[in-house]
Amino acid sequence: MTTTATIQTLDTPDGAFTLLADDAGRVLASGWTDDADRIVGRLRPADRPATVRGIPAHETDAAAAVVAYYEGETGAIDRIPVLQHGTTMQRAGWEALRRIAPGRPLTYAEFAAELGSPHAVRAAASICARNAPALFVPCHRVLRTGGALGGFAWGLEVKQSLLAREAGVTRSA
C-alpha cells in the first residue's frame, strides 16, 4: 500500500483529467473527472493511500505526459510508470494494454487472444473495466467485435475522442 500520494487535475480537450500518483511518480489512478474521491475510489480499499495531498496541475512528469499526449505526442503516456495491484492475469492484461499501439485498437476477442486465452473474452473485458490509471494504461484501445465502442468508465464520447485523436483525426471545436 502507498502511504502518501498526490492528486492533481488538469484541463484537456476532453474535460477535466485527474491523476493520482505515489511519491515515486507512478500513476495509481486517473480519469476524466475533477472529482478526487472518484479517482481514489477506483482503487481497492486496501490499495488506497492513507494521505492524499493536492498539488497544482503540470508539476509532475505524468501531468506533462498528458499535456504532450493531447498535443499529439501519443507515446508520451508510455514513459510514465504505473502501479496496479491485482491478480497475475490482471497485471499481465494491464501490461498488454500498454503494448497496444495508438491508432491500432484491438477487439476484446483479439485482446483475450493476446493474453493467451482466446475464449476468455469476458475476463479480457473485466481487465479493462478494472483498469485504474486510464489513459496511461490505454484500455480505451479495446473495442467490441465489429468495431463498436463497448464500455468505458469515463464515457463513450471520451473514448471516441481518444481513438479519433490516436487515428490522426482531431475533433472540431
pLDDT interval class at 2 (50, 70, 90): low
**pLDDT average, residue stretch 102-109:** 94
Burial class (CB in 10 A: 0-12, 13-18, 19+), 66: buried
Give the pLDDT score at 108: 94
Domain termination residue (choose one: 51, 79, 107): 79
| Beta-strand relationship, 51-54 and 106-107 | unpaired
Query: Strand pairing partners for 20?
Result: 7, 29
- Evaluate if residue 173 carries a pLDDT over 60: no
- State what percent of residues in the chain have pLDDT above 90: 85
What is the domain range of residue 42?
4-79
159 vs 2 pLDDT, higher one = 159
Q: 3-7, 32-36, 62-66: which has the minimum mean pLDDT?
A: 3-7
Active site members: 139
The residues, ordered by sequence, that sit 6+ positions from 173 with a Cβ below 8 Å of its Cβ are: none
pTM equals: 0.92
Q: Identify whether residues 52 and 118 lie together within a single domain.
A: no
Domain boundary among 60, 79, 98: 79
d(CA 64, CA 76): 8
